[in-house]
Structures are given as structure tokens and as C-alpha cells.
Amino acid sequence: MTRIQRLIKEAKESCTFRGHQMKPFSHKYKKWSSSECMVCGMICNVNADPAPNEIDICGEAVALHCRYEGEPDPMETIVEENRFEIY
């Protein structure tokens, strides 16, 4: 397994842990790959040859949970409250 393949595997695991459903990671470049979540659109970048000030796995998708898990969407909450008042 190459370094980029290993990093992609790690990135996928991190994104899945956060509830994302990632599109297949691109294999267009030897040392760089990215994907985005099909549900919320957050991205994940993988860099197999990072500069000293860069990190190998980054992006919203590894830092934040998918927005359809955990905290409810504030807009949905408002809709539900309005519906409640009608009845």
C-alpha cells in the first residue's frame, strides 16, 4: 500500500466516524486526493507530501460531524415550532 492509499484509508475512516458518506476519493494525482460528503458537502483533502506547515489529512469532514447527525438543523427546529402553533 502506498502512502497516499494509506492516508485515503485513514481519511475515509475519520469521515465515516463523523457520520459522513464520502464520495470515492479521486486518484487523479499521485500525492494528493480529495472527496466530499454526499449528504452535507463537507470536504476532505489528503496530501501525501505535505509541506512543513501543512498536514496530511485535513478538511471540514474530518473535523466536524455530518450535519444530519447529532445537533438538529436550526431551520428544521423553527419549522416544527411553527407547525406546533398552527394546531
3-state percent breakdown (helix, strand, coil) of the chain, nearest 5:
35, 15, 45
Interface with Zn ion includes 48 (CB under 5 A)?
Answer: no
- Indicate the residue type of 21: Q
Interface with Zn ion includes 22 (CB under 5 A)?
Answer: no
**Rounded-to-integer distance, Cα 22 and Cα 32, Å:** 16
Residues within window 1-20 making contact with Zn ion, judged by CB under 5 A: 20
| Residue placing its CB nearer to Zn ion in the complex, 8 or 59 | 59
Measured between alpha carbons, how far is residue 78 from residues 6, 20, 71, 82, 85 in Å?
A: 43, 24, 14, 6, 11
Of 31, 39, 43, 56, the residue at the interface with Zn ion (CB under 5 A) is 39
Interface with Zn ion includes 40 (CB under 5 A)?
Answer: yes
Interface with Zn ion includes 62 (CB under 5 A)?
Answer: no
In the complex, the residues that contact Zn ion under the rule CB under 5 A are: 20, 37, 39-40, 66
